[in-house]
Amino acid sequence: MLFSDISILAPDFTIQEHQYVAVQGNAIRYVGSTRPQGDFGSVYEGKEKLLLPGLVNTHSHSPMTLLRGYAENLPLDRWLNEKVFPFEDRIQGEDAYYAVLLSIAEMLRTGTTSFSDMYFFSENVAKAVGDSGIKCNFSRSIVSFKDGDIRSLPSFQESEAMIRQYHGAFEGRFLMDMSLHAEYTNWVSIMEQFAQAAKDHNLRVQIHLSETKKEHEECKQRHGGLTPAQVFAKAGVLDQPTVAAHCVWVEDRDMELMAEKGVTVATCPASNLKLGSGVCNLPELRKHGVKIAIGTDSAASNNNLNLWKELYLAALLPKGITHDPTAVTPQQVLEMATVQGCASQGRMDCGKIQTGYRADLTVLDLSGPHMTPATDLLNNLIYAVNGFDTVLTMVDGKVLYENGEYPTIDLERVRYEVSRRTRRIIGEVAQG
């Protein structure tokens, strides 16, 4: 495909107009201001369009789209124990498969080309990723409320099996990470064994970290004043490249530790607001040199997977809590959602419109009234854009969404299956 006479978001996060971008196979082969020579399979006319690197959703639980609108207006602990856990106990594998496809359809529709997921039903997630064409870093979350040998845990055994069978599957689109759910759901001995396993496999790690004040302070009571970040670090969990979701209540020493260990924070502003958890202090994290990316969390706590909404909140909330309108710039937020997101997944050849990089791309329609005038298009991208301005999403050079059509997903079937299965599960919960 040749993107012809189109505006692009350049690697330096400036807008360059009247550009030509040629895609061949899975990669970008040409970027320039003159039309390249050669015959292209198709030409995409770029009038009133903007070509960007695909967005990366660095924290999600894609099967939980089944719970959209179900667990509402509760703090995290009650949300989990009263609503989520009873529902999850009744999810079956095929339920998860269709829910993941629905999540992927929503992400593709709003410009996301890769996501990091932490859940179970591992093979069903892998199948949905394989069938749809998107990219995913998946981790089978481990929870253990007692001491023991980590190898005896079914969740760890499932993780090990997935690593053997699926790491690097679908031409590298599906990568396995390892995951500990949180400090409050695992014993220290399990953390230490997990850390060794992650080192042995040389895999990346996903965790929840200091999401709520209650979680953070109760950890300090349990561990002689140590915070969740410090407990994980002491156990060796942070020795591997780690994505830490939320980090709303981290302290200065935690930030220093995360910067030292190279941890990436996956900030999830909408979910943190909806559950009343608080606001992640992005300016302070940046000041300490901590890497930041952006996630949606699940549709159960958000309630959608439109990453553009998260970019908007990630830009606005720091201004509100610091009373400084310059606290976070549009360029910084776009970097979090693209380059930093790709780096957090270990996908160093993604995230830029640059020759040789993977063709993970998305196109926005700039012709809507809310995008006019474009006095400063970068500002419009953060403060005015709607995720549904997305008109094309491409992964590894393959168009997976264009103008309402999904070449790899039967959306009508998926919507029907998810609605039917959610009704069944809710009925089962009600019956006890």
pLDDT over 90 (residue 76): no
User: In this structure, is residue 420 part of a structural domain?
Assistant: no
Q: Give how far Cα 177 sits from Cα of 4, 150, 195, 318, Å.
A: 38, 17, 12, 30
pLDDT over 90 (residue 187): yes
Residue pLDDT, tens place only, 350-385: 999 999 999 999 999 999 999 999 999 999 999 999
User: In this structure, is residue 190 part of a structural domain?
Assistant: yes
Q: Are residues 65 and 31 in the same domain?
A: no
Q: Are residues 8 and 72 in the same domain?
A: no
Of 314, 344, 374, the position where a domain reaches its end is 344
Query: If pLDDT is split at 50, 70 and 90, which confidence band does 237 have?
Result: very high
Of 344, 373, 388, the position where a domain reaches its end is 344
pLDDT over 90 (residue 18): yes
pLDDT over 90 (residue 336): yes
Query: If pLDDT is split at 50, 70 and 90, which confidence band does 41 have?
Result: confident
- 63: domain CATH number? 3.20.20.140
What letters, b where the CB count within 10 A reaches 16 and e where it falls short, cover 286-309? bebebbbbbbbbbbbbbbbbbbbb
User: In this structure, is residue 83 part of a structural domain?
Assistant: yes
User: In this structure, is residue 141 part of a structural domain?
Assistant: yes
Residue pLDDT, tens place only, 295-329: 999 999 999 999 999 999 999 999 999 999 999 99
Residue pLDDT, tens place only, 44-66: 999 999 999 999 999 999 999 99
User: In this structure, is residue 288 part of a structural domain?
Assistant: yes
Q: Are residues 175 and 266 in the same domain?
A: yes
Q: Are residues 71 and 172 in the same domain?
A: yes
Phi, psi of 355 (to 5 degrees): -55, 130
Q: Are residues 327 and 232 in the same domain?
A: yes
Q: Are residues 238 and 296 in the same domain?
A: yes
Q: How far is CA 312 from the centre of its chain?
A: 15
Q: Which DSSP state fits 409?
A: -
Closest listed residue to residue 181, CA positions, set 161, 200, 209, 203: 209
User: In this structure, is residue 425 part of a structural domain?
Assistant: no
Residue pLDDT, tens place only, 206-228: 999 999 999 999 999 999 999 99
Domain span including residue 368? 2-53+360-402
Q: Which residues are paired to 15 by β-bridges?
A: 9
Domain count of the chain? 2
Query: If pLDDT is split at 50, 70 and 90, which confidence band does 75 have?
Result: confident
Q: Are residues 99 and 224 in the same domain?
A: yes
Q: Are residues 288 and 377 in the same domain?
A: no
Residue pLDDT, tens place only, 120-164: 999 999 999 999 999 999 999 999 999 999 999 999 999 999 999
Q: Are residues 47 and 67 in the same domain?
A: no
pLDDT of residue 172: 98
- pTM for this one? 0.97
Q: Are residues 236 and 192 in the same domain?
A: yes
Q: Are residues 325 and 298 in the same domain?
A: yes
pLDDT over 90 (residue 40): no
Phi, psi of 169 (to 5 degrees): -70, 165
User: In this structure, is residue 432 part of a structural domain?
Assistant: no
Percent of the chain with pLDDT over 70: 100
Separation CA 190–CA 91 (nearest Å): 26
Percent of the chain with pLDDT over 90: 97
pLDDT of residue 39: 84
Q: Are residues 38 and 67 in the same domain?
A: no
- 14: domain CATH number? 2.30.40.10
